[in-house]
């Protein structure tokens, strides 16, 4: 069984793409709604809350956990992988959503830092993300290691996640996205070569980003990129590829009745949560 963790509900976009690509794989999703959002938390708090929830997924039988939260992946992933996981759960794995996106943008495998001939000369990339992800600088740092000539322009989108989860109507949502895109284009000063949606909620409104961007700009959405990357990982690491019945179970650290996603932009089968895992 594969675990999917997010601070809230945005990671359900990743789960949906994974389920479509790996229909016979069992998934257990855990949203830390009791402590969401993570954006205003300190780095130490984010590491500790991520560690606690990943532990809950491992204890529930998961052998691999995907951090389907850009904030958790940017702030906590490396610390947990290097300092906690080998002693606490040897043989288990934690992956994140940031790595596949960096690979997709740069065209360089994660294992290759400062590769020869992959500098990304002349490219301007726009990154739309939460304030915490932007502040972490994780995308800037990792892209620079692999394609140092890529110019990455970051744009935080405060309020967009809350609007998406709250079921805000199409017109106000489109207006929010249009405003952020206009500001980012002004900051960039040029038409970008590509746009990276660095929040797992944002693919739910990707059509609004596409409408607001200049024609022909390539849009990188995390669900499909991450799903393809995980399928490749499971092909190379068969010990984590355990076929099941395709069961999906959604858990929350909050009260299931308070996590009402029926008016959100998510498919109906991803809106019914249980409690009690963490």
Q: Which long-range contacts (CB under 8 A, 24 or more apart) does 45-49 make?
A: 46/71, 46/72, 46/75, 46/76, 46/132, 47/75, 47/76, 47/79, 47/80, 49/7
Catalytic position from the list 62, 69, 157, 221: 69
In angstroms, the CA 26 to CA 4 distance is 11
Residue 65 β-bridge partners: 3, 94
Q: Could you give the maximum distance between any two Cα atoms of the chain, in Å?
A: 53
DSSP, residue by residue, 240-272 = G--B----EEEEESS-GGG---TTSSS-GGG--
In this structure, are residues 251 and 277 in contact, taking their beta carbons and an 8 Å threshold? yes
- Cβ–Cβ contacts within 10 Å for residue 114, how many? 12
From residue 196, alpha-carbon distances to 106, 160, 203 in Å are 12, 16, 10
Residue 62 is among the residues annotated as catalytic for this protein: no
Residue entry with tokens 């068969």: 238
DSSP tag of 81: I
In angstroms, the CA 278 to CA 203 distance is 27
In angstroms, the CA 158 to CA 162 distance is 9
- Cβ–Cβ contacts within 10 Å for residue 188, how many? 16
> Which sequence positions are flagged as catalytic?
69, 199
């Amino acid at each position: 069984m594969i675990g999917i963790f997010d601070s809230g509900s945005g990671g359900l976009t990743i789960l949906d793409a994974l389920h479509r690509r790996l229909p016979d794989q069992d998934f257990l999703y855990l949203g830390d709604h009791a402590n969401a959002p993570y954006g205003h938390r300190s780095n130490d708090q984010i590491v500790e809350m991520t560690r606690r929830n990943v532990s809950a997924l491992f204890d529930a039988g998961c052998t691999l956990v995907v951090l389907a939260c850009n904030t958790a992946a940017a702030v906590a992933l490396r610390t947990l992988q290097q300092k906690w996981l080998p002693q606490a759960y040897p043989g288990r794995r934690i992956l994140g959503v940031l790595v596949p996106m960096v690979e997709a943008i740069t065209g360089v495998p994660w294992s290759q830092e400062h590769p020869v001939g992959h500098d990304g000369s002349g490219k301007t990339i726009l990154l739309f993300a939460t304030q915490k992800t932007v502040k972490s600088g994780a995308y800037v740092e990792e892209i620079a290691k692999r394609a140092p000539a890529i110019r990455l322009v970051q744009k935080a989108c405060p309020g967009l996640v809350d609007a998406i989860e709250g079921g805000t109507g199409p017109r106000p949502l489109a207006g929010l996205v249009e405003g952020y895109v206009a500001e980012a284009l002004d900051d960039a000063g040029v038409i970008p070569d590509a746009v990276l949606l660095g929040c797992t909620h944002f693919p739910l409104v990707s059509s609004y980003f596409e409408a607001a961007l200049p024609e022909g700009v390539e849009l990188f959405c995390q669900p499909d990129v991450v799903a393809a990357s995980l399928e490749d990982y499971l092909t190379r690491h068969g010990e984590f590829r355990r076929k099941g019945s395709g069961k999906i179970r959604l858990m929350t650290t909050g009260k299931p009745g308070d996590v009402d996603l029926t008016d959100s932009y998510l498919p109906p089968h991803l809106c019914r949560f249980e409690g009690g895992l963490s």
